[in-house]
Amino acid sequence: MKKDRKEIEILARGACVQAGKILVCRNRKHGNVYLPGGHVDWGEDSKHALAREWREELGVPGRVGRFLGVVEQIYQARSGRTCEISLIFEVRCPKISAKQHPPSAEDHLEFEWVPLEKLAQSGLLPRAMAKQVPVWCAAPAAAADRWRGFSR
pLDDT digits (tens, 9 = 90+) for 79-123: 777 789 999 999 999 999 999 999 999 999 999 999 999 999 999
Residue-wise pLDDT tens digits, 41-50: 999 999 999 9
Domain ranges (residues) in the chain: 8-147
pTM: 0.86
Cβ contacts of residue 27 below 8 Å, gap of 6+?
33, 34, 108, 109
Q: What is the CATH number of domain 8-147?
A: 3.90.79.10
How far apart are the C-alpha atoms of 123 and 100, rounded to whole Å?
20
